[in-house]
Amino acid sequence: MALRTFAAMARDLAEKKTTSQHLTEQCLAAIKNESGEGIRVFLHVDEAVAIATAQAIDRLRAAGVTLPLYAGIPISIKDLFDVAGQVTRAGSMVLSDRPPATRDAEIVTRLRRAGLVIVGRTNMSEFAFSGVGINPHYGTPAAPWDRAARRIPGGSSSGAAISVSDGMSYGAIGTDTGGSCRIPAALTGLVGYKPTAHRIPSDGAIPLSPSLDSIGPIAHSVGCCAALDAILANGPEPDLAGSRVEGLRLAVVGNFVTNGMDSIVFEGVDRALAQLSRAGALVKRLDIPAFDHIPEINALGGFAAAESYAWHGKLIEEQGRDYDPRVRVRIERGKLQSAADYIKLCVARDDYRIAVERSIGDFDALVMPTVPIIPPYIDDLAEDDAFAAINLLLLRNPSVVNLFDGCAISLPVHDPGAAPVGLMLAAPRGRDHHLFRVASAIEACVAKQ
């Protein structure tokens, strides 16, 4: 399944080599496999609607009706998006008795309009507030590598990534406030994308931090992510044909994001950079002083604490005992921020963004490890201190991009069967199509089969 791209499936569907019903039934069988992770990956499986949708698309195609290019491909959505008639729990117990949504989130409407088959809604870190992916309420799906040892999937879009890696969907829609698409992609050997935030509407999605929240895809390839991103953004798909590594100007960050990097990640990233250099990319090591100021900017909890507390404050007063304590303590940091603190934070973010954009303006992409470690064991994070340390380490690199409102993508660069290593590429806001072209070229250069 890892080799089945959206483009390849679109061709097979158009040429009647497969059907949407067949693809959907394969995904549903993987979800129901008792020896698999399905029970921990999906909080709701929409089997009847998915099969009916697939059959309808097959009938229309057989009748010669012109359909959207990717109509009939099965995908999953994170349990953060409203679907009419379903309860949006956001991976929590707090919202489990909430009334069902009365209408679809805007991105769900766009996915349906494109003819994609939504097989169900996926598990996640509670309220999207963790990069680890552990959920004490609904269980934690294990990363595909070294599965018997039960390693973390990364979060917060944990179930989204495993749904793709394990053949339960061909693409997944997640959210990314500080790396929640890119972290699980890096830890599961997939591609994860964080768009420029304003390109994709968040109507009908439970917020974490509106200043930082982005909605993006996780899939098997850059092309698949580009296809899903175009649907989410209701815009044209970027032309990736002819993308070349030769002449690309790549800035490899040398400060802040490399602290605490383990040897496996270092070697994987170093090999990829050497390949790119041999292929003609201009690779330059670059320190970005603005990155070193991030801990100071976020000293009081940053936007995520302040803005999440504004949404959760009353709920915590009424149902605080039902929250994952590791999530609640982070939200409650927002209670300590004053209006003056928040205004200063907004000013600091603007200054930071300007400084970063000046530093990288002459480059095609900023390059760094997506995360500096391979996935730890789930059991090793049972203690709060260990959990907090790993959570901060996983979020650190991806969150530098959310803070300057850029776009970013994580690509797998490890050998087949080896520990997962993600290479992150980033660019200033609004350069999404350019970044997809850069990523497509780099993917072709460093891809491991």
Give the pLDDT of residue 61: 98
Catalytic residue list contains 180? yes
CATH topology assigned to domain 6-233: Amidase signature (AS) enzymes (3.90.1300)
pLDDT tens digits along 263-311? 999 999 999 999 999 999 999 999 999 999 999 999 999 999 999 999 9
Give the pLDDT of residue 1: 43
Q: Do domains 6-233 and 249-446 have the same CATH topology?
A: yes
Cis peptide before 130 (omega within 30 of 0): no
pLDDT tens digits along 426-443? 999 999 999 999 999 999
Average pLDDT rounded to a whole number, residues 32-51: 98
Q: How confident is the model at residue 2 (pLDDT cuts 50, 70, 90)?
A: very low
Average pLDDT rounded to a whole number, residues 394-412: 98
Q: Where are the domains of the chain?
A: 6-233, 249-446
Catalytic residue among 20, 76, 78, 125: 78
Residue 255 has pLDDT above 50, yes or no: yes
Q: How confident is the model at residue 4 (pLDDT cuts 50, 70, 90)?
A: confident
pLDDT tens digits along 117-171? 999 999 999 999 999 999 999 999 999 999 999 999 999 999 999 999 999 999 9
Give the pLDDT of residue 447: 79
CATH topology assigned to domain 249-446: Amidase signature (AS) enzymes (3.90.1300)
List the beta strands (DSSP E) in 247-312: 249-253, 282-286
Residue 30 has pLDDT above 70, yes or no: yes
What six digits make up the tokens of 128?
């999207």
Distances in Å between the Cα of 76 and the Cα atoms of 81, 177, 192, 322, 439 are 11, 19, 14, 26, 23
What six digits make up the tokens of 267?
């070697």
The answer to which of 3-17, 140-154, 301-315, 387-401 has the lowest mean pLDDT is 3-17
Instruction: Answer left, alpha or beta for residue 121, where phi above 0 means left and psi between -120 and 50 means alpha.
Output: beta
Residue 46 has pLDDT above 80, yes or no: yes
Average pLDDT of the residues of the chain:
97
Non-local (6+) Cβ contacts of 22 within 8 A are: none
Residue 388 has pLDDT above 50, yes or no: yes
Helix (H) or strand (E) run with residue 400 in it: helix 384-403
Catalytic residue among 20, 76, 163, 180: 180
Residue 448 has pLDDT above 90, yes or no: no
Give the pLDDT of residue 3: 59
Catalytic residue among 156, 157, 169, 399: 156
Catalytic residue list contains 156? yes
Catalytic residue list contains 314? no
